[in-house]
Structure 1
Amino acid sequence: MNQPVPIPSNNAPARIGQGTAVEQSRAAAEVQAAVVVAQQCPRNIQAAVAQMRESCNQMFLAERAFYRYPKGGQTITGASVHLARELARCWGNVQYGLVEMRRDDDYGQSEMQAFAWDVQTNSRNSSTFIVPHRRDTKNGPQAVTDMRDIYELNTNNGARRVREAIFAILPPWFVEEAKELCNATLRNGGGKPLAQRVADAIKTFEGIGITADRIEARLDRAPAKWTEHDVAQLIVIYKSIQRGEVTAEDEFPAPRVSADELIGGGTKKPASEPTQ
């Protein structure tokens, strides 16, 4: 026979540890101090714009400013979390982060929260989401149990939400100008001549096993006819491959080999006899 489960009284005081109480007090004081500092030292919009333009003119940021990944037979592209973090720094008085609120090892999932907060205007955006402790593979979902793998899985899933939270509180014109400047920096190539950038791109992709003919097949033209836009696109693709957002095989499919080519060109036709 099932025994009734005792229900704790609502009047019973909640007990928390001393360390938790200290952390709660510290967090509350930190939030209050951030608001006070933001009100006493408001952002200088002109200075923020100047910092943004200076950052977006650097190749180091421009190369990491965009992402791309395949979805439903299409390629999705957009501004990356690296650009979002840099814009938050330039705009100033912005706090953002990713918090693991709860981990359930029995169900194999983590409850996460991503947030961004403009402490000067009190504009805040946050989202709470569940990250299953599973990784998609070619053989189907695979359970993740290693602590480090779970941490990396939560971080990778949370980075996208942090990015969207930051962009949600920043002025749209500020973000759009930054993206245009990063695209312009990629096309300019840091002042290098186009021919040099083409040669560097071919050499870089050869380092990950992508030959020049596979790049030519994707762009549908020879290296001598590549434009600044082509080279900029290759930079974004290479960085996305490095981050694991796409694979080299997806972006540069290996050429198909026919049966005749496999056997050495097939059976040759006999030469026609000379006309009498």
Structure 2
Amino acid sequence: MNFHRTEVRHRAVARLRAGAKNADVAREFDIPLGTISYWRHMDRAKRGECPGAHDPKCPRCDGRELDSAAYSYLLALYLGDGHIIQYSAHRVPSLMITCDDAWPGLMNACETAMRKVFPDNSVCRVRKTGCHNVKVYSKHLWCMFPQHGEGKKHERSLVLEPWQQQIVDAHPWQFIRGLIHSDGCRITNWTTRRVGGERKRYEYPRYFFTNTSTDIIQLCTDTLDRVGVEWKPARQKSRKAENISVARKASVALMDQHIGPKY
């Protein structure tokens, strides 16, 4: 991908403002026509010359009302299966949540949450092998997800801002639901017990949450504590990942009431 210096862009935009055609400027600067068209559109939008153009408001920057419950769920999905991409300094960044095709209900819930958190932005699904990336473009993604940074999530600090923690405290079950939907599951375990001298099979439901980030594990367990769910560390198949188990009957019933299995 070719990147063009700010000086070149300013010179090209100046020629466009002077009345030059897109194709002529593209040939003059040896820049793709699509890039010139994009620069012209962004320049006109910045000056308010595009009919109906508007800059979507941000809850953090402009005080727009935020659907806090939807944000709590989307934040958890982002921590598990999301990332923010900006291909160049002149492009609008995008938030992508990768959803497995095996869970269409989860994908629908993700898209619904995105539309509620970013009601003025376009949301789309991009098909990949075995999954879809649910995407939204916004200039305010850095404001809404300050945990974004270089490198892998488990290799950097992931601490919630005070305003984020207030939202999670107000909507803890939405946050837990997002964590389970991204990196958790509900399964049926079984064991055998001797009853009246005869060994019988005994089945019971259980929730697991697995992540390689100790910070995300801490966010999960702190929130489980807050809603009264008993948990314990489980045996790990991978030394790199930490595994949290919820198996006590009352706690599983509480999780079933608010979360349930993926679908």
Q: TM-score, normalised by structure 2?
A: 0.30
RCO higher in structure (CA 8 A, sep ≥6): 1
TM-score, scaled to structure 1: 0.29
